[in-house]
Structure 1
Amino acid sequence: MSERIESRLAELGLELPAPLKLPGGARLPFPWVRVHGDRAYVSGHGPLARDGSLAGPFGKVGADVTPEQAYASARLTALAMLASLRQELGSLDRVTAWLRVFGMVNTAPGFTDTPMVVNGFSDLVVELWGERAGSHARSAVGLAELPFGIPVEIEAEVAIST
């Protein structure tokens, strides 16, 4: 079976990270991906380093983290989500369409460029799947805090081949 998406990742020089290594004492009692019929619902993911540890910088976008750093964090978040999808589905090629993305940004008071931050995620998905399958409905909201001080958390819903 041809692995089109994984080949595209390699062409871009991108690697999927190892599974999340939770900070000490943390417990998350839910699946990262829940498959139901021809849909996969993906729990909120944050940016990961290659070894599965949370990737910095940490803090609020617009104060501790620049918009450009947050865009890069959203891109790392996409890679983390793809790693979870591959683990659950066996192949990223089973994702036939990206349907919905909900992006949350850890914002400093007054920071309103949340859509530009979450573009880091959306741009990579469209780059990998193309406009037809990669385009998705999306929200990008600012929140007062995110878990573990991460700057970005994103969840999604995708259509899959069964």
Structure 2
Amino acid sequence: MGAQSRLAELKLQLPPAPKPVGVYKPIVVAGGMAYLSGHGPLKSDKSLVTGRLGLDMDVEAGYDAARLTGLGMLATLEAHLGSLDKVKRLVKLLGLVRSTDGFDQQPAVINGCSELFRDVFGEDNGVAARSALGTNALPGGIAVEIEAIFEVDA
């Protein structure tokens, strides 16, 4: 079963692909690899999920923000490639979590995106090398920012 079919089976609807808010491309494909710029948790009303884990957000809210970010990343892939079925595999995921100094559950937050990709692309192709880091600031006060590298059929 392809990723597009799994998306339908999971009853997931992708949002419109987010537009860049600076001087960068949301995705660059080179040498069979798709490099996705950092994406944030963009809601359907075009507002962003903001907050700081360990202060005004808990792990569950952070997980949901990371999952929302993953949906936006899938939308970027689909808009650029024409179909998620052109994704061979996720290679690397980097998640940044805006958090307090004492918060140490960044991996549990980024699981919101990682589990989404696993469910869409499968255990072998949707689980990759990953880093989940805490940071004191992200653009616009967003809760998470995630970037990824995918192997694709271009």
Give the alignment's TM-score, normalised by structure 2: 0.93
1:158 aligns with 2:150: yes
Match of 1:13 in 2: 11
Matched residues in 1 for 2:80 and 2:25: separation? 10
In percent, how many aligned pairs have the same letter? 44
1:34 aligns with 2:28: yes
Q: How much has 1:118 moved relative to structure 2?
A: 0.4
1:61-72 alignment runs, 5 A limit: 61-72=53-64
Q: Secondary structure at the match of 1:153?
A: strand
Q: 2:47 aligns with which of 45, 51, 54?
A: 54
Structure 1 vs Structure 2 CA RMSD:
1.6
Contact 1:20–1:54 under 8 Å retained in 2 = no
Q: Secondary structure at the match of 1:109?
A: coil
| Structure 2: unaligned runs, 5 residues or longer | none
Matched residues in 2 for 1:67 and 1:138: separation? 18
| Structure 1: unaligned runs, 5 residues or longer | none
Segment drifting more, 4-13 vs 150-159:
4-13
Q: Secondary structure at the match of 1:78?
A: helix
1:44 aligns with 2:38: yes
Q: How much has 1:21 moved relative to structure 2?
A: 5.9
Contact 1:15–1:50 under 8 Å retained in 2 = no
Give the alignment's TM-score, normalised by structure 1: 0.89
Q: How much has 1:158 moved relative to structure 2?
A: 0.5
